[in-house]
Amino acid sequence: MLSDLKLVIFDLDGVLTETSRQHFKAWQTLAAKYDIDLDPSFEVHLKGVSRKASLDKILSLSSRHFTEAEKDAMQAEKNAHYQQLIANFSKEDCFEGAHELLHFLQKKGIHMALASASKNGPKLIRALEIDRYFGYVADPTQHPGKPAPDLFLAPMHHYGLTPNQCLGVEDAVAGIAAIKAANMTAIGIGELGSLPEADAEYTTLADFAQVIMKHLT
């Protein structure tokens, strides 16, 4: 499989940097204002899920009805808080091994793309100083969200490739489902056993980086 590899498609939040925590913290703060107690165990249901879909899942925990205008205001409030939480993000906030892996793949002539559900993705990769590695950034406003395969298929089509030439890297259940729906090999990053649908799981990005760099050297 690795001998055919032409494109690695990365998720961003929770894969290249630890922004999952900030996303969830911002949701918890918002939910608390409406007397919704967001238990940490709920985070798994929000990872990889769009802002709007995340809010709908959170509000389903409440018996109150919310108007569309209220929901729009809530999304804006969560996003403002999230942006505040990541305002000082810089190169140092990438996960260990991220810069090294991206640099290695570039030197090997392997394309890299971003398939993040986050509308903050383009700004965040600039802050992390990794934007130059990505030849294609899938636009989450133009495609159905994960678990639909579209965010992973878009970069594949951009480069005129087939699924067997692509590898997807994800930390979310919805993201692994999206990669598998695209018929690609799925690499899961996170606690071992938490992404059972993945083809291979690694606790950290650094662990995955070590393995792939060894195989491709």
Active site annotation includes 13: yes
Distances (CA, A) of 63 to 27, 35, 36, 43, 181: 18, 11, 10, 20, 34
* Contact set for Mg ion, span 128-147 (CB under 5 A): none
Structure token digits, residue 77 = 């409030």
Cα separation of 95 and 92, whole Å? Answer: 8
Determine, following the binding rule CB under 5 A, whether residue 13 of this chain makes contact with Mg ion: yes
Q: Is 148 within 8 Å of 115 (Cβ atoms)?
A: no
* Radius of gyration for the alpha carbons in the chain, expressed in angstroms and rounded: 17
By CB atoms closer than 10 A (0-12, 13-18, 19+), residue 63 is exposed
Candidates 10-18, 68-76, 81-89, 119-127: pick the segment binding Mg ion (CB under 5 A): 10-18
Strands 200-202 and 136-137: unpaired
- Positions in 155-174 near Mg ion (CB under 5 A): 171-172
**Using rule CB under 6 A, residue 50 touches ligand BG6:** yes
Among 28, 116, 165, 185, binds ligand BG6 (CB under 6 A): 116
Please report whether residue 23 would count as binding ligand BG6 according to CB under 6 A: yes
Nearer to Mg ion, 52 or 108 (CB): 52
Residue 70 beta carbon to Mg ion: minimum distance, rounded to whole angstroms: 27
Is 119 a binding residue for ligand BG6 by CB under 6 A? The answer is yes
Is 131 one of the annotated active-site residues of the chain?
Answer: no
Using CB under 6 A as the criterion, which residues of the chain lie in contact with ligand BG6 when the complex forms? 12-13, 20, 23, 46-51, 54, 79, 116-120, 172
Q: Which residues are catalytic?
A: 11, 13
